A and B are shown apart, each in its own frame.
Chain A
Amino acid sequence: MFAKDWRAERRARHAVATLVLFAVTTLVVASLALGPIGATPGERSDVAAALLWILLLFAAAAGLPRAFVHEEESHTATALRLAARPSAVFAGKLAWVTSLLCLLEAIAAPLALALFDLELAHPARFAAALAAGGVGLAAATTLLDAIVAQGRGATTLFAALAFPLLVPLAVLAVAATRSAIGGGEGAEAVLQLVLYDGSIVVAGFLLFPVVWNP
């Protein structure tokens, strides 16, 4: 599953290009808009953490909900249903979406730090927050994408379903990232984020067979 999606991506270069361009453009626009204000490093670290996660959330909503919608649109979903077990399909799609998000984070996070001129107080916590937030984001979007792929107006519906589910994740991820940049207490937020991830991933594996097979 994972290899197939990357092969398709290598041929079409649709998702990666869209996501990276979206991330770079948003960050440049934000830093241009916020730069002249003359914010203190403390204010900048608060803004950068929130902005980074808003960017990742919107990138996930704009570029990622193609995992299953694309399969349904190109009528390859039936072939997939016959070829692999549901858990394998979900694991493969989850790995593909996670890898895409990690790639996006690897580009967006250093760029955000550079453009906002910030130093990291806890580099390990920063990486942990990005990784845990990324996995949760990937798991939630993959499961919801499988649900909306079978309905009408998938993209709008996806946004309506995804945002409430992603709010707890975003709040925790922003708290963890902010503390990683600016210092202060925040290890607890990373732990809560991992717990939220765990629940969503387990729910994904349990619910996916029902969602996937008519």
Chain B
Amino acid sequence: MRRLAAWLLWLWMAAVIVAAFHWAPLAKDFLGQSSRILFFHVPMAWVSFVAFMTAGVASLRFLAGRRDARRDRSAAAAIEIGLVFALLATVTGAIWARIMWNSWWNWDPRQASIVVAMLFYAAYLALRTAITDREARARLCAAYATLGLIVAPFFYFVLPRLGFSLHPDAVINLRGKVDVEPKMLTVLVASSAGFTALFFWVHRLRTRLADAEERLLEGVE
């Protein structure tokens, strides 16, 4: 069953890539083919947010429940993957900025806020390495990731709106509606759904790997 789901996901993502390059029209006022990066850049930013929220919820459940160490490992895995997606969103954004604005980086509020979000979660990994006692590490890291549940929405939704931004705001905007052509929107939603499924799949693999590592360490001890 899981094998079939993995194959379906593979097919889905392949279809999304083909649709992004051949089926979806180009957006107005964008240089050349540059608007096609939207179908990858936006879902990556979205998945990084989903990953950080997943980590927050796993940590909250860890603290509120019976302190199951698996939940702690699940949170750590989600943050690791979330950081990768946030980095990819930043890089794709920089490539697009180079094409449209002729500069890789110009401290646009959105660029700044995703960097701050990355620093916040990179600090989580630093905290994990700084505490040797397993019980204390799980407990303190869970508290920190739960704090992320509160501040991450600020990073993703409040900070980007402070100050003047050149970033296109067709998807998330103050007008409360989506200003994208129907075909583009279809590909964007399909891509976001695909990337989200991809995240949960990789997250499950990473958590299982972490569980296996833990068992191995217990065996050694």
B131 lies within 8 A of chain A by Cβ: yes
B30 lies within 8 A of chain A by Cβ: no
Q: Could you tell me how many residues of chain B have their Cβ less than 8 Å away from some Cβ of chain A?
A: 28
Grouping DSSP codes into helix (H, G, I), strand (E, B) and loop, the A interface class, with mixed when no group exceeds half, is helix
Judging by beta carbons under 8 Å apart, are B151 and A210 in contact? no
Count of A-B residue pairs with CB < 8 Å:
75
Contact A211 B143, CB 8 Å, known A150-B136, A153-B130:
yes
B42 lies within 8 A of chain A by Cβ: no
Judging by beta carbons under 8 Å apart, are A168 and B159 in contact? yes
A203 to B56, CA, bound (A): 13
Judging by beta carbons under 8 Å apart, are B119 and A172 in contact? no
Contact A214 B135, CB 8 Å, known A147-B140, A164-B119:
yes
A32 lies within 8 A of chain B by Cβ: no
Q: Which of the 9-residue segments B120-128, B173-181, B189-197 touches chain A?
A: B120-128
Q: Could you tell me how many residues of chain A have their Cβ less than 8 Å away from some Cβ of chain B?
A: 28
Residues of chain B within 8 A (CB-CB) of A168 are 116, 151, 154-155, 158-159
Contact A211 B159, CB 8 Å, known A152-B130, A152-B131, A161-B123:
no
Judging by beta carbons under 8 Å apart, are B139 and A211 in contact? yes
Residues of chain A within 8 A (CB-CB) of B140 are 147, 150-151, 211
Q: Residues of B with Cβ closer than 8 Å to A?
A: 63, 116-117, 119-120, 122-123, 126-127, 130-132, 135-136, 139-140, 142-144, 146-147, 150-151, 154-155, 158-159, 162
Q: Residues of A with Cβ closer than 8 Å to B?
A: 143, 147-148, 150-153, 157, 160-161, 163-165, 167-168, 171-172, 175, 189, 192, 196, 199-200, 203, 207, 210-211, 214
